[in-house]
Chain A
């Protein structure tokens, strides 16, 4: 245990935790925006997988990480349009539609991978961007200022999403259609347009989450996300539909995951418990969710399709 409590190990664990929390943060914020507008998207996992694969494939075949990120985003955006059509335009039941998107993403990303790549090959990873001066601070620099552009962006998104939802007319409209769509409709705010936009933004962020995950690893494999998309949905509840709350949840999850990995490497967790310890982040997050469960209500119109009369 004493090996763990050295500055070097602690700060590199912290760094790993922040890195691991990146996809959760993107996906969680995206899901939150969708839910704020009243739409539950259970398909995050599937969108992440699709974006992850296409970003990976782009990186593999062109060598351009920028192009890969762009493709990952576009795939998310496209899936947002699809999910928006299903739920907003055709009023399909959200729970089932989301599961459909998940299953499609799981199967299609696997199929495309088998057809086009077959055996996993490494592609280049996202480079870490050292922030001048700050990254030279001992320990702290490693933990906070030597991350990829993706990670920085994820954390910058937190205040941006807060401003979007709290301080803009667009965000006020999003919150209104998620709480009382009849009211918004009666004032000439298009419920369909707001929800569609929120879904597209949310799914684009899910796409970015998948892209961040795959480009951090530099390799794709079937079911790469391994449930991260579903955890991201849980984090929205954990964070009580607030961006800082979602960030806290993502960080908690990432840090527990990083700690487990470090402890395994240091032998603190015996090899025989290795598989069980992999469940630790989920168990701890759910435990915290139960304990912290405040009386925060979800958006009142969550999962309710809207149509007039």
Chain B
């Protein structure tokens, strides 16, 4: 497979990058050969992104050297990287939605008909590349009309169009369904066998093991290990990544579920664009169980969660009862008073206020209560002691109670929100994407907390796009597709394959 000569495609030697107060990369070495998928594994803040930004010319290293095919280079800008055959597929797609595929691909390249564009020429090459790597994309379509998986393929085409030989893929599977991941790996295999060098950034251990030839593990800016899937399994990789033993499968004691605490009947909800997002949904969540909602993003999960939380109205005739209280269209306060705790998907938009202090965010819901205010004046003493207790109990790592919340890491902000929501001992817990963008260590903790609530008799509804997460903590998994629950699977019967097919809208008894 490989043109595996003595000279590697890429050598990064002793890369060091300092930011004020942080050593982001500390003498990092990375060697990538042609025809190799090399995974960079590490938690948020481990230094993967910094290293890749240096490779792509977005940052300049303080120390160290980069060799491309044996030749020392100084990557002064992204254009330099691109012109030397380095391509980057960013985690957040770098596409202009209002432009066509061909326009996006051609952006920043020289036109053969300058100053005019040469879209027919570009389109022909896009089709050639699509053909060769099995990408199947129509160059004349506007990007906003494409599905997420297709947009990613446009990103790959963009890189290949620029003759990229070395591709950096920054968490490329985060937004894909299991089936799309399979297809995506097929594309990677094509590129690998045509001699491209691929740097795969991920913290999804299952995928890392499935696709990698080599694995370099980073922690706190340093390389802490170098291995291959043959030498290390998922558990060992997790340990290398976190620096201590972590449990990938949390303990879930057997509990006999009680009465239904969250009852949803005939729920119909409109999206912001006026289309039907939730289309006649029925669901029960009982005390002492965790129900997972799986599905590709955009199938009504967000709208479902917002209606339960009282943040969105539903069509007449819909019913959502929290502990027997009808909450549809009554506002967030009523949902909360009925016993709901809500951990929203967009934690910095709906869950916490970035400019507020840790302590202010911890009483964001309750600051009007007798406990924390009297005659309209806040009782700072009470607030502080309550906040300190929560920070200790939920292991929120913060320099202090008066620290600005936005300066905390994603995992700690999520723990802060969880602390606030669970403090009151809720009977119904609604958590959307509770561990998205959160370190394994923090995710492990958050999962344990949700399971603990289940043990205390709460009914938990967890919306997640991460199947591994749901498979680890849920008792039942309901799959949403086009606004409906296409099926509910008991955890004993749940496999990635059946869930994946359901996520794509395929289910026994339903037309394929």
Where the two chains meet, the residues of A that have a C-beta atom closer than 8 Å to any C-beta of B are: 167-170, 172-173, 175-176, 179-180, 182-189, 300, 308-309
Is B106 among interface residues, defined by CB-CB distance under 8 A?
yes
Task: Tell me which residues from 69 to 116 in chain B have a Cβ below 8 Å from any Cβ of chain A.
Answer: 77-79, 82, 88, 90, 92-99, 103-104, 106-109, 111, 114-116
Give Cα A187–Cα B89 distance, bound, in whole angstroms: 11
Instruction: Kindly report which residue of chain A lies nearest to residue B274, judged by CB atoms.
Output: A295
Q: How far is the CB of B91 from chain A (nearest CB, A)?
A: 12
Q: Mark B422-454, 1 if CB is under 8 A from A, else 0.
A: 000000000000000000000000000000000
Is B228 among interface residues, defined by CB-CB distance under 8 A?
no
CB<8 Å pairs between A and B, sample of 13: A168-B115, A168-B116, A179-B99, A183-B93, A183-B95, A183-B104, A183-B107, A184-B107, A184-B108, A186-B88, A186-B94, A188-B77, A188-B78
Contact of A175 among B79, B99, B106 (CB under 8 A): B99
Give Cα A30–Cα B77 distance, bound, in whole angstroms: 31
Instruction: Kindly report which residue of chain B lies nearest to residue A181, judged by CB atoms.
Output: B96
Do B117 and A187 touch across chains, with their CB atoms under 8 A apart?
no
Contact of A187 among B98, B111, B114, B158 (CB under 8 A): B158
Is B471 among interface residues, defined by CB-CB distance under 8 A?
no
Give Cα A182–Cα B98 distance, bound, in whole angstroms: 14
Contact of A180 among B58, B95, B117 (CB under 8 A): B95
Give Cα A15–Cα B325 distance, bound, in whole angstroms: 69
- Chain B contacts for A188, CB-based, 8 A: 77-79, 82, 108
Do A172 and B107 touch across chains, with their CB atoms under 8 A apart?
yes
Q: How far is the CB of A173 from chain B (nearest CB, A)?
A: 7
Classify chain B: how many residues form its interface, as a range: 20 to 34
Do B116 and A167 touch across chains, with their CB atoms under 8 A apart?
yes
Do A167 and B117 touch across chains, with their CB atoms under 8 A apart?
yes
Do B108 and A179 touch across chains, with their CB atoms under 8 A apart?
no
Q: How far is the CB of B101 from chain A (nearest CB, A)?
A: 13
Do B117 and A168 touch across chains, with their CB atoms under 8 A apart?
yes
Q: How far is the CB of B296 from chain A (nearest CB, A)?
A: 23
Do A189 and B108 touch across chains, with their CB atoms under 8 A apart?
yes
Do A169 and B114 touch across chains, with their CB atoms under 8 A apart?
yes
Q: How far is the CB of A192 from chain B (nearest CB, A)?
A: 13
Q: A176-B107, A189-B107 are in contact. Are A184 and B96 (CB under 8 A)?
A: yes
Give Cα A183–Cα B144 distance, bound, in whole angstroms: 14
Give Cα A170–Cα B99 distance, bound, in whole angstroms: 14
Contact of A183 among B58, B79, B96, B117 (CB under 8 A): B96
Do A185 and B78 touch across chains, with their CB atoms under 8 A apart?
yes
- Chain B contacts for A189, CB-based, 8 A: 107-108
Do B114 and A172 touch across chains, with their CB atoms under 8 A apart?
no
- Chain A contacts for B109, CB-based, 8 A: 187
- Chain B contacts for A309, CB-based, 8 A: 58
Give Cα A308–Cα B108 distance, bound, in whole angstroms: 17
Do B94 and A183 touch across chains, with their CB atoms under 8 A apart?
yes
Give Cα A98–Cα B436 distance, bound, in whole angstroms: 40
Give Cα A179–Cα B142 distance, bound, in whole angstroms: 13
Give Cα A184–Cα B82 distance, bound, in whole angstroms: 13
Contact of B98 among A167, A170, A175, A185 (CB under 8 A): A175
Question: 11 additional contacts, CB 8 Å, given A180-B95, A187-B82?
Answer: A168-B116, A169-B111, A179-B98, A184-B96, A187-B78, A187-B107, A187-B109, A187-B158, A188-B79, A188-B82, A189-B108
- Chain A contacts for B107, CB-based, 8 A: 172-173, 176, 183-184, 187, 189
Q: A168-B115, A169-B115 are in contact. Are A175 and B96 (CB under 8 A)?
A: yes
Q: How far is the CB of A92 from chain B (nearest CB, A)?
A: 21
- Chain B contacts for A173, CB-based, 8 A: 107-108
Do B96 and A170 touch across chains, with their CB atoms under 8 A apart?
no
- Chain B contacts for A187, CB-based, 8 A: 78, 82, 94, 107-109, 158
Which 8 pairs across A and B sit closest by C-beta, in order of nearness?
A: A188-B79, A187-B108, A183-B94, A189-B108, A186-B94, A180-B96, A179-B96, A188-B108
Do A186 and B78 touch across chains, with their CB atoms under 8 A apart?
yes
- Chain B contacts for A172, CB-based, 8 A: 99, 103, 106-107, 117
- Chain B contacts for A169, CB-based, 8 A: 106, 111, 114-117
Task: Tell me which residues from 14 to 43 in chain B have a Cβ below 8 Å from any Cβ of chain A.
Answer: none
Give Cα A182–Cα B53 distance, bound, in whole angstroms: 13
- Chain B contacts for A182, CB-based, 8 A: 92, 94
- Chain B contacts for A185, CB-based, 8 A: 78
- Chain B contacts for A167, CB-based, 8 A: 116-117
Give Cα A173–Cα B115 distance, bound, in whole angstroms: 12
